[in-house]
Amino acid sequence: MVNIVIFASGNGTNAENIARHFAGSNSVKVAALFTGNPRAGAIERMSRYGVPCRIFSREQWNNPVEIVDELKRLDTRLIVLAGFLSMVHKPVIDAVGGNIINIHPSLLPRHGGKGMWGINVHRAVLEAGDRESGITIHYVTEEIDGGSIICQRRCPVLPGDTPEELAMRVHALEYEAFPAVIEQLAAQL
């Protein structure tokens, strides 16, 4: 059994989709949700699948001794960032030997970096007049959105799209691709 821990800060639809996908799996277990936001929708969503949540303070994320301890206690082999806002520091990356991945709602390197999160990304895609968008699943390093790319999926940007409409199309790609990538990586661990 490969234990994974999901980090999420927001609504948590990707986190829930992953928990649903692996519910009853005998190869991958979603061992916990870690967040820095006590109001994250992800907390309630994950509780529906019996996934426990740990809420850490800003100080604990900045100096992640307890976070690393908890990752080790849970025998974490892979960390999955699913809409996670805080910086991830090196001790956390090292705690899982670099097996830490993120999903980003654009075709990196376009529309990545600081402040590029959620709906802001879709606004930037529309403002730039891009004809296509998509998702990027990549390894996490200390550089925001900088790690090596594992996979990308594309979708069209349609004339008259609102950021919310584009977000829905991109979310559909996320729900399909993310659990499959996690399953593949876990099989290699």
Residues annotated as catalytic are 104
For ligand GAR, which residue of 3, 13, 86, 152 counts as binding (CB under 6 A)?
13
**Where does the chain show beta strands of DSSP type E?**
2-7, 28-35, 53-55, 76-81, 100-104, 132-139, 149-156
Residue at token pair 């891009």: 130
For ligand GAR, which residue of 121, 137, 182, 185 counts as binding (CB under 6 A)?
121
CA–CA–CA angle 46, 70, 74 (5° rounding): 70
Cβ at position 131, least distance to ligand GAR in Å: 20
Amino acid (1-letter code) at residue 171? H
Q: What x-and-dash track marks residues 147-186 binding ligand GAR by CB under 6 A?
A: ------------------------x--x------------
For ligand GAR, which residue of 83, 134, 147, 179 counts as binding (CB under 6 A)?
83
Task: Give CA–CA dist 44/93, Å, rounded.
Answer: 26
Q: What x-and-dash track marks residues 63-82 binding ligand GAR by CB under 6 A?
A: -------------------x
Residue at token pair 């290699």: 188
Tokens, residue 185: 């990586």
* Residues in contact with ligand GAR by the rule CB under 6 A: 8, 10-14, 82-83, 103-105, 116-118, 121, 171, 174
